[in-house]
Amino acid sequence: MSEAIHTTVDAKGLSCPMPIVKTAQAAKNVPAGELIEVLATDPGSVKDFAAWTRSTGNAIVEQSEDGGVYRFVIKRA
Amino acid sequence: MTTETAAPAAIDADAETKLTEAIAAASQAEASTPGAQRQLVIINWSGEYDKVMPTLIMASVAAASGYKAQVFLTFWGLLPFVKDEKRITGENWMQKMLSTMQRPGISHLKMSKMNFLGMGPWMIGKLSQQYNVASPKELLEACQLMGVEFLPCQMTMDMFGLKREDMIDGLGEPVGAATVLELMTEERTASLFI
């Protein structure tokens, strides 16, 4: 298992539901245990990604905000 | 943007097979955890922009979250799922006239409020662009890509004189109320009428 980012999803500027939909689409091609990085500017994505990971079993391993850009690192289940 | 990691050369083929098997077993175990897969069933009755949008948003997110998402398309709610390029649909004059009064297709939705001869949808379209909100067409494509199942209502198809070739590709078989009722009352199912 590598700690490097496997796939980055740039969802900056996108509104609900596209950050989640794009991440789910990208996740299909990410093997279990690998990391997905998501960049989003939708403030609602903080709660939405928490809910999405609970629903799908994926895990947020890192989360930060910098200048209005939210960054989530999600480990693929 | 995809960053490919270097191939794990050290892992031999045998270990890789075992790993694949373990992952398959784990995902199977996940699927067979108590209770069936969660489902979202939406009865999409309205053909208006401000109602088709929540249908498509909820369905796409449900599918993205691992739910089985099914959308029953009935009455006015079937018309957005006619191909955009179809102008007049139906066989008799009344059906044809109805399709001129409400142009079918996902790109021709009116608003339930403040339509004002198209001013409302135009302004909403502009605002959507400005705030990067996906269009109904984009959301529909996302739904289909994520595996949302769209089930046309047979009775509505007959009443509006719609044929399978009038409809967009990828729709399920036309069904009736009994099928939808069964879906709605399955375990771990949320049902919405929009």
A64/chain B closest Cα distance in angstroms: 20
Which listed residue (A5, A16, A21, A59) is catalytic? A16
CATH fold label, B39-109+136-193: Hypothetical Protein Ychn; Chain: A, (3.40.1260)
Q: What is the pLDDT of residues A28-76, one digit of tens each?
A: 999 999 999 999 999 999 999 999 999 999 999 999 999 999 999 999 9
pTM for this entry: 0.82
Q: Which two tokens stand for residue B176?
A: 């009736």
The residue behind tokens 């649909």 is B89
Rounded percentage of chain B residues whose pLDDT exceeds 70: 83
- What are B71's strand-pairing partners? B42, B150
Number of structural domains chain A divides into: 1
Q: How far apart are CA A62 and CA A70, in angstroms?
A: 11
Range of the domain at A15: 5-75
The domain segmentation of chain B, as residue ranges, is 39-109+136-193
Q: CATH no. for residue A33?
A: 3.30.110.40
Asked if A7 lies within 8 A of B65 by C-beta distance, the reply is no
| A chain contacts of residue B188, beta-carbon cutoff 8 Å | none
- What local confidence, expressed as pLDDT, does residue A1 receive? 47
Q: In the predicted model, is pLDDT for residue B6 greater than 50? A: no
Taking CA atoms, what residue in A is nearest to B132?
A14
Range scoring the smallest mean pLDDT among A15-19, B23-27, B80-84, B87-91: B23-27
Q: Residue B145: pLDDT above 80? A: yes
ipTM metric = 0.86
